[in-house]
Chain A
Amino acid sequence: MGIVTPGFTGRPRSGAPELPPGQYLTPDFPVLSAGPTPRVPHESWEFVITTETGAEYRWSWAEMMALPQETPTVDIHCVTRWSKLGTSWQGVSLDTLLDGVDTAAAYALAHSYGGYSTNLPLDDLRAGRAWLVHTYDGADLPAEHGGPARLLVPHLYFWKSAKWVRGIRLGLEDTPGFWETAGYHDYGDPWREQRYQGD
């Protein structure tokens, strides 16, 4: 237990849903980005998976939309301490996109229009735990929330769910992304409160 601050009681605890440590619930959908919001038209959008040998697997917008679609409803947790429960999305499972990709890689680096990047183990993109989503709450994903398409990896802090995602580079070694280079945790499990390097 930490040092008690006299007089602090906090919100009533009873009946509150269980959240990862240090998180609080918000009904809003705050935005956290490092720079201006890129605007990417569907016509020029593409998604590319590049393997460790340099092989490329590409999807246009129409090709991605023609793949089997899923509608995950998930809780999301931002490293800035807000959590939002029961968010509903539509998109393509990374299992579908990785199916047929020939790779021995252990790591993935997601990269985005606008220059953002974030790294995660490739296993965390598999087994029904990650999606490329284009619809939020029944409508096109707004640009400030990462549209036209973003990653959704809800079991990790939300900065791992790269907005405006353009592709994934697979590698045999781990390459830190944007926030990971700026002092944030390499893996980012909210339930183990892995916010910053060394957590």
Chain B
Amino acid sequence: MARYIAKRVMYMLITLFIIATLSFFLMKMLPGSPLNAEEKLTEEQQAIVLEKYGLNDPIPIQYVNYLAGLVQGDLGISFAFSNTPVTDILMDRMGPSAQLGAQALVVGTVIGVLLGLIAAISHNGFLDYTSTIIAVLGTSIPNFVFAGLLQYLFAAEWELFPVALWGSFEHSILPTIALMIFPMATAARFVRTEMVEVLGSNFITTARAKGVSEPGIVFKHGLRNAMIPLVTVIGPMAVSLMTGSMVIEQIFAIPGIGEQFVNSVMVNDYPTIMGTTLLFAALFIGIILVTDLLYGLIDPRIRISGGGK
């Protein structure tokens, strides 16, 4: 097991290195420069400013310098926010996004699993169709539509929640609901499909014949088996939720990382773009590792320690 993890961590580092390299060169292909007053300065004046940021060096040298900083954990100083280290920006902006993402993930998955369970148990019944419709709507309607609707109804019309802005827990409720629709619908769809299949399989019939109680069958035998595909999708979904949604953050005026990331790309803030990309990538790769380890716990058939894989 330890060897397996060590191997995986090494792969992770290699992947990160490739991502860093790719995004570095892709970023250099963005049109324009990080200068804000580009059109007002002569070439010579632009060069003086770029010199300060080390952007006059040939690209391979910039790349080496960049990697050197990275190895030392230095993500650099933002071009857009003068004198502000990228790590500070990430720290500041990650908080609200992570909180919203976590809330949406937990609430969404829980409700989704319940919906899926109910649907599977009343297979082809009224409740099944209802929850399927909810799931289809949830995956197909983009969340900014929900966000706008929620804001209009619950904040503007009925004044139950604040319209936007960030601060108290109350402020996080509407964006959380808007964000949780997708994980909810996804979880419901997966759980339903799996449960229907599992509940129809032979070992369930055996369990029934043995006289296992219905809750026992659903939770102990059914749900546990249905969890495997769910775990696969929840991992990456967790990352995408916690790294922020530009649209939701913009609509509810939340100072999150998703919105910041898009902004950085718009103004060619290279260090911030790189820092954010790497952070997202690391989170993503880390979660995939955790997911793989979880499989083993949930499903003995995919045991890693056995070395069979």
A binds B: no
* Interface residues of B, Cβ cutoff 8 Å to A: none
